[in-house]
Structure 1
Amino acid sequence: VLKDDLVYVADLFIGIQIINVSDPNNPTEFLRFGTTGANPRDLCIYESLLYYSTWYGGISVVNISNTLNPVEICHIWLSDRIEGLFVSYPYLYAANLEYSVSVFNITNPSSTYKMTEFHESVLVFDVFVVSNNIYLAGYAHGLSIMTLDKGGDLQEISQHFFPNHHHSLVIDEPYAYVGDKYSGLHVYNINCVANQRISVSLLKAGGFLALAIVLIKLSLKLLPKILEKLSPYKRGYGL
């Protein structure tokens, strides 16, 4: 995640790494710190708070107002494999490899709590929220579209099945850009959500290197939108 001149990275082995990119030609490590729980998977930032997920460790909330001294202010222990995170205040959305998506209330950061959960029939790798629509990318599944009703419950609008390994996504309406671990970049037209129809195009990429190049170019093109929506940069084979 890019915030000011610093990039925050969730690293499986070393924890959270902060990189100074004020000079794009010479990025330098600014700071790193360990995580509560092993194998951090993803992170996102809202104002001066950083949220990160781990497998079998849960979700942590870290105050980064003092970048030299990040302070963990809350940790929610979960026995699940949490993957992608997305903040759309006042909620934090978490993609769960244990076949679900969870919603956390973050109005009081030091007392963040799980508000609701929706169980899917597939492994959920990533989540992205635009307005009241919640998009999920899943393994051997494709794309699910959900909404959070006034009662605070998740309701599924539609499912679109494709036999792929969808791992990461960014929404830039009217399109959903989905990084697939094996087959490249999928582009979905999401204009017809109400009618539960979706059109798809696929950019073939010859392996991980080609996919990375395509996604880097896309990230640069969408950077203003991504920053505006506080979208996290994803893992090496995602967006």
Structure 2
Amino acid sequence: MKKWQIVRKGRQWLTLMLATVMWMSVAVSPAQASGQLSTISHPSSGVQIALAEESPKKTPTLLSSFDTPGEAYGVAISGNTAYVADLDSGLQIIDVKDPTAPKILGSIDTHRALRLAIADNKAYIADWTSGLQIIDVSNLEAPQLLGSFDTPDYAHEVAIADNKAYVADYGSGVQIIDVKDPADPKHLSSFNTPGSALGVLLVGNTAYVADGKSGLQILDVSHPNAPTLLGSFDTPGVAYKVAIADNIAYVADEEYGLQIIDMSNSEAPKLLGSFDTPGIALGVTIAGNRVYVADGYSGLQIIDVTNPNAPTLLSNVDTPGYALGVVIADNKVYITDLSGLHIINVDEEKTVNYGTSYHLENQWPFVLTYLDACGDTYCVPTTQLSVFADAELDQAGVGTGTWKFESATGASAGTPVSFGDLVYLQNKSSQSYLDICGLAACTSTPKFSVVTDVKPDRDGEGTGVWKIESTTGASAGTPVSVDDLIYLKNQWSVGQTYLNVDRLVTCGSRTKLSVVTDPEPNQAGVGTGTWKIVD
């Protein structure tokens, strides 16, 4: 099903709002040509309304790129600063406060910087044949070498915790180094993994090692002087990097893409699912239900792991080079691809949650209005306010156009709202609930007046219960997001009807649209019963 967004042409809508006769029926014929606008016309005024096919929401967008002097391999973020391991050009320190215009702050040469970690104003760099380099970055414009430790093989990655550095040292496994005195780091112990240690991640007292052709190795480092093996999982490819969330490991497994492993029992990890990325998976990070993979020449791959048994591709962004490193901070992905640092906006859709208040914007194309309460009404002793649609957001300025979503089935505050849910809508100003009461006047079809009532469901027969339906065919159980378009179907046991705008009315000195319920989701054919959830 196609979605259409409304584009007003001209500013005659105010004139329409004040007209004595409201036209409420239009016919729409979508344009056949790709990208062409379809239009509808108000018959008396000739105002043209354009309907354009709606673009996918929240598409990742490249904000900027920064060309480092070397080959950008790894990246770490701390506050508004990006630290790039730039191979032969060492550490590059970049100001990303304005992500659209990153600028260099400082740099320091090392031998061959691969990856790094930041802690306590120090950068710990896995520096290939030069082992671990420790850099003072308290002055971002003038970083200084504090100390170093020459590991026995090729230092690929480092993790820091409790003044200890855990270095993935290729053929020499994991090296554990005391860095309490950064000028004089001391070797504590090592664990020789069966493969080639390429990546290491520390969670509590457990070290997860991406061990090349030997897959994932899980180490107990509660005693850093004597690490022990907890378990392992042999991935099909070359395990290059690992990320962990909620006892699940996400392994960048080179040509075998993303491997998803259940770590609830570290001694017996189990494969949950996998996703074959188009390139070579070399970097991985996770935020929420999304995994971000640095995928070689295929750039950034964004994968939905809501169901870890069946991950799906959400989107991707091609980068100009060979993507190796990826981190996420504040809904921005920072990816290194040998050509430099690239910053990508991945602002996610914001889920609608119970206990949170929103505005409801009606989508009738000629007059953009918001669900609002105004004036007193009487239908039964408990009813309080009449409900209208007003051109002003929160027309009285005290929450009259703000509605809190409450579950009619007992879901707790903070739980995501899904399509198919039954809800109460509580007005912020009056603390009363959206309800229907009595037949609406001057109608030939069974429409009902919409009011607010002090009770969530005044008669216990569903008059104050509303079912959230998708206008675009999303299935029941799909989470509802801010900016989604919905129908609100009243659940009165005598007959179920949809929330709609109807005709011009006044409340006080303001002209509004009346709000009724109608057997049709859009009683006038275009948007009268379609509501957009606005944060």
TM over 0.5: yes
Q: TM-score range by the shorter chain?
A: 0.7 to 0.9
Identity of aligned residues (%): 23
Q: Which residue of 1 aligns with 2:170?
A: 12
Structure 2 distance, partners of 1:10, 1:58, is 14
| Mapping for residues 1-239 of structure 1, pairs under 5 Å | 1-37=159-195, 39-150=196-307, 152-181=309-338, 183-191=339-347
Structure 2 distance, partners of 1:84, 1:109, is 18
Structure 2 distance, partners of 1:166, 1:151, is 24
Residues 45 and 87 of structure 1 are in contact (CA less than 8 Å); yes or no, is this contact kept in structure 2?
Answer: no
Secondary structure of 2:282's match?
strand
Structure 2 distance, partners of 1:133, 1:35, is 30
C-alpha spacing 1:141/1:36, structure 2 compared with 1 (3 Å)? same
What is the CA distance between 1:31 and its match in structure 2? 1.6
Structure 2 distance, partners of 1:40, 1:58, is 9
Residues 158 and 193 of structure 1 are in contact (CA less than 8 Å); yes or no, is this contact kept in structure 2?
Answer: no
Secondary structure of 2:209's match?
strand
Kindly indicate which of the two structures has a greater share of residues assigned to strand: 1
What is the CA distance between 1:151 and its match in structure 2? 6.4
What is the CA distance between 1:127 and its match in structure 2? 0.8
C-alpha spacing 1:35/1:151, structure 2 compared with 1 (3 Å)? closer
Aligned residues: 192
TM-score scaled to structure 1, two decimals?
0.75
User: What CA deviation, in whole Å up to 9, does each residue of 1:118-161 have, x standing for no partner?
Assistant: 11111111110011111011111111111112463211110112
What is the CA distance between 1:35 and its match in structure 2? 0.7
Larger Rg: 2
User: What CA deviation, in whole Å up to 9, does each residue of 1:199-238 have, x standing for no partner?
Assistant: xxxxxxxxxxxxxxxxxxxxxxxxxxxxxxxxxxxxxxxx
Structure 1 distance, partners of 2:185, 2:270, is 36
C-alpha spacing 1:118/1:79, structure 2 compared with 1 (3 Å)? closer
Structure 1 distance, partners of 2:302, 2:236, is 25
Residues 200 and 209 of structure 2 are in contact (CA less than 8 Å); yes or no, is this contact kept in structure 1?
Answer: yes
Q: Which runs of 5+ in 2 are unaligned?
A: 1-158, 351-535
Residues 58 and 82 of structure 1 are in contact (CA less than 8 Å); yes or no, is this contact kept in structure 2?
Answer: yes
What is the CA distance between 1:111 and its match in structure 2? 0.9
What is the CA distance between 1:13 and its match in structure 2? 3.0
Structure 1 counterpart of 2:298, one-letter code: H
Structure 1 counterpart of 2:168, one-letter code: A
Residues 140 and 165 of structure 1 are in contact (CA less than 8 Å); yes or no, is this contact kept in structure 2?
Answer: yes
Q: Which deviates the most, 162-171 or 150-159?
A: 150-159
Structure ranking higher on relative contact order (CA contacts 8 Å, 6+ apart) = 1
Q: Which runs of 5+ in 1 are unaligned?
A: 195-239
Structure 1 counterpart of 2:162, one-letter code: D
Structure 1 counterpart of 2:188, one-letter code: F
Q: Give the superposed CA RMSD.
A: 1.7
Structure 2 distance, partners of 1:120, 1:79, is 14
Residues 148 and 154 of structure 1 are in contact (CA less than 8 Å); yes or no, is this contact kept in structure 2?
Answer: yes
TM-score scaled to structure 2, two decimals?
0.35
Structure 2 distance, partners of 1:192, 1:160, is 15
Kindly indicate which of the two structures has a greater share of residues assigned to helix: 1
User: What CA deviation, in whole Å up to 9, does each residue of 1:23-68 have, x standing for no partner?
Assistant: 122222222221122x211011222111111221111111111111
